[in-house]
Amino acid sequence: MEMQAYTAKQLDVDKLFYLLRAYFATDDMDEKFILQADLEGDFIANAKLKQIYKRIFSERVLFNVNFSKTKHMHIYFSMLSRLFLELGYNGWVILFDEAELIGRLGKKARLKAYRNMADFLYPKENFEGVYTMFALTASYIEDVIEGKHEFDNLHSAELADEDHQAVDKVLKALMVADQLQPLISQEIEAAMELLLDFYSRAYNWHPGIDMKEILKRSEHRGYLLRTRIRAAVEYLDQLYQYNQVSDIRINELGKLSYEEDLVSLEGILEKS
Task: Write out pLDDT tens, residues 21-39.
Answer: 999 999 999 999 999 999 9
pLDDT average, residue stretch 112-129: 89
Confidence class of residue 251 from pLDDT cuts 50, 70 and 90? Answer: low
Among the ranges given (10-14, 93-97, 265-269), the one the predictor scored with the smallest mean pLDDT = 265-269
CA distance 92 to 13: 22
244: confidence class by pLDDT, cuts 50, 70, 90 = confident
Statement: the pTM of the whole predicted model exceeds 0.75: no
Question: Higher model confidence: residue 122 or residue 256?
Answer: 122
The conformation of residue 159, written as its DSSP 8-state character, comes to -
How far, in Å, CA of 170 to CA of 115, rounded? 8
Give me the residue spans of the domains in the chain: 2-73, 90-180, 183-272
| C-alpha to C-alpha distance for 249 and 33, rounded to whole angstroms | 44
Contact between 20 and 7 under an 8 Å Cβ cutoff? The reply is: yes
Q: Could you report the per-residue pLDDT of 85-112, keeping only the tens digit for each? A: 999 999 999 999 999 999 999 999 999 9
